[in-house]
Amino acid sequence: MASVGIDAMEIWTGKLVLDLPNTFAPVKDEAPAKYTKGLGLTGSSLPDVYEDIVTMGANACKRLIERKGLTLNDIGRIDVATESSFDRSKPVSTYIAGCLEQVFEGDLSHANKGERKFACLSGTQAVDDACNWIRAKRHRGRGALVVVTDTALYERDDPGEATQGAGAVALYITETPSIVALSTEQGIGSKDETDFLKPNQQFPSVDGRRSIGVYLDRVREALHDYESVAGRIHKADVSYLPFHTPFPGMVRKAALMTYRHLIAGTDEEETLLGLVGEPPSPDAFDDADAYKKARYDYQKAIRNTEPFQTWYTATVAPTLSLSRRTGNWYTGSVHVARASALLEAARHDNDLVGKRMLVGSYGSGAQAEVHAETVCTGWRAEIEALTIEDQLDARYDLSFEAYEQIHSAHTYGTETSIDPFTTPKNEFAFDGWGDMGERTYAYVSA
Ligand code: CAA
């Protein structure tokens, strides 16, 4: 089989936005630049009262099925990846399938459904599973829907509150992909860690500072593991670097590490060392904090060099244009990064066919995965069909008081009595509870 990969995608954002520099920062008594420059975020997408992981996922799928002219018989598999599941037994994919069966002819009774869990990594794992299902020829000519959907909310006043988000991405995986073909080679970096977890609780327990180090360590290991099967990767091999983006500042750190790796042993490394000198050695420091500070300053110095800036502007910055506006979508964030890079490429009329991206996913707990994707001939038409930028522009801009209300409306165990801020139109909406405590959904027409 020549190639297996992503044939189509659709993105659905939560309908509300919390403006971080202008609404959140003043209440927190913080500088707006902490958000815009430090974390790299301008806003967080949040779900309205009638939105959740099912509605956002089903809405993305519905649009994808309609735009591609598919029938339900074309779908042999639906896998949902999420960290926000509300049901410990019945997978979210069955709720989404139920929604789709409300509006399309036929049914999904022969589609294999499941739910994947490994924090933010699981969407990439679900794509991998779908590709392998096709490579194993179990698909009977059908494609697989992978739906990554999350309401990434943190407890009020947790430092993570600055990096929230809500949205879904639907990906259609086939043996004739229009957007990207995935490499069979992959690298894994995996270790039992407790950086971010939700042991039977809605909001995560997070060690934010530690989670940044764990992300970098696992991605570094995954890069080395990838090269052990795919061979050495060089800077020129990589057009874009879509990485898991909890906030763009995190990718800036991961990009710096990756850049140093990609140029290791080349003339560019010599040039860089000529500009910033050799990295600090731990032996030269008496205490760990002084060494840490020297490393931080050294990395900052590299960030300010012309070679790094040029590479970053071309290869990494384009992957962040959507996530700056959305915040963290957990399982969706690496898929938003890919879409963002391709949207920017289309905007700048870049001919990408045959070019490669190096995709890095990360899930707390912790595991990273790295693989390559080759851009296919139909990428541009697919990407230009996305409406995500219009959706982001149309979000309802929350006041801080309204943000507090919507956060508690989505907190389990609280009584929701607020009215929605927006009106559902031609989309699935949460509409109540069934006899067995299940959430129920209806399609709301114009
Ligand atoms: N101007 C410019 N920059 C500023 C600034 C200003 N006025 N004020 C602060 N900054 C910079 C800081 O220097 C820092 O950047 P560096 O790390 O490059 O130095 C950045 O803004 C953030 O500032 P703080 O570190 O002071 O922010 P914080 O203490 O409030 O917390 C956080 C940041 C730890 C990331 C927190 O938001 C958090 O816990 N987030 C959730 C965990 C997370 O996302 N971890 C990422 C890895 S784990 C993962 O990827 C899985 C996942 O999806 C959750």
Span 108-120, pLDDT tens digits: 999 999 999 999 9
Tens digits of per-residue pLDDT, 274-294? 999 999 999 999 899 999 999
Residue nearest to ligand 1 atom 52, measured at CA = 246
The residue-averaged pLDDT of 196-219 equals 96
pLDDT at residue 1 above 70? Answer: no
Q: Identify which of 28, 30, 34 to mutate to test ligand 1's pocket (most ligand atoms within 8 A of the CB).
A: 34
Q: Sign of dihedral through CA atoms 136, 138, 142, 146?
A: negative
pTM value is 0.97
Average pLDDT of the chain is 97
Taking CA atoms, 215 is separated from 142, 152, 202, 223, in Å, by: 35, 18, 22, 12
Nearby residues of 157 by Cβ (< 8 Å), 6 or more positions away: none
Nearby residues of 316 by Cβ (< 8 Å), 6 or more positions away: 240, 241, 251, 252, 255
Neighbours of 173 (CB within 10 A): 26
Q: What is the pLDDT of residue 417?
A: 82
Q: Is 246 in the pocket of ligand 1 (CB under 6 A)?
A: yes
Three-state secondary structure of 45-94: EECCCCCCHHHHHHHHHHHHHHHHCCCHHHEEEEEEECCCCCCCCCCHHH
Q: In percent, how much of the chain has pLDDT > 70?
A: 99
Q: What is the pLDDT of residue 353?
A: 98
> Catalytic amino acids?
83, 120, 244
pLDDT band at 414, cuts 50/70/90? confident
The residue-averaged pLDDT of 73-98 equals 97
Q: Are 154 and 164 in contact (CB under 8 A)?
A: yes
Q: What is the pLDDT of residue 2?
A: 59
Domains for the chain: give ranges and CATH numbers: 5-444 (3.40.47.10)
Ligand 1 mean position to 33 CA, how many Å?
Answer: 12
pLDDT at residue 421 above 90? Answer: yes
Q: Exposed, middle or buried: residue 100 (CB in 10 Å: 0-12, 13-18, 19+)?
A: buried
Q: What is the pLDDT of residue 99?
A: 98
Q: Is 143 in the pocket of ligand 1 (CB under 6 A)?
A: no
Q: What is the pLDDT of residue 229?
A: 98
Tens digits of per-residue pLDDT, 224-267? 999 999 999 999 999 999 999 999 999 999 999 999 999 999 99
Residue nearest to ligand 1 atom 28, measured at CA = 159
Q: Is 37 in the pocket of ligand 1 (CB under 6 A)?
A: yes
Report how far residue 38's alpha carbon sits from residue 247's, in angstroms, rounded to the nearest whole number: 9
Q: Is 361 in the pocket of ligand 1 (CB under 6 A)?
A: no
Residue nearest to ligand 1 atom 3, measured at CA = 38
Residue nearest to ligand 1 atom 41, measured at CA = 160
The residue-averaged pLDDT of 357-382 equals 98
Residue nearest to ligand 1 atom 26, measured at CA = 34
DSSP string, 181-215: EEEEEEEEEE----SEE-TT-SSPEE-HHHHHHHH
Long-range contacts for 272-280 (Cβ within 8 Å, ≥24 apart)? 272/302, 272/305, 272/307, 272/308, 275/301, 275/305, 275/307, 276/301, 276/302, 276/305
The residue-averaged pLDDT of 29-38 equals 98
Rounded to the nearest angstrom, the gap between the alpha carbon of residue 288 and the centroid of all alpha carbons in its chain is 34
Q: What is the pLDDT of residue 415?
A: 72
Q: What is the pLDDT of residue 398?
A: 98
Report how far residue 168's alpha carbon sits from residue 59's, in angstroms, rounded to the nearest whole number: 9
Q: Is 40 in the pocket of ligand 1 (CB under 6 A)?
A: no
Q: Are 174 and 161 in contact (CB under 8 A)?
A: no
Q: Closest ligand 1 atom, CA of 158?
A: 39
Q: Sign of dihedral through CA atoms 89, 131, 221, 152?
A: negative
pLDDT at residue 32 above 60? Answer: yes
Q: Is 206 in the pocket of ligand 1 (CB under 6 A)?
A: yes
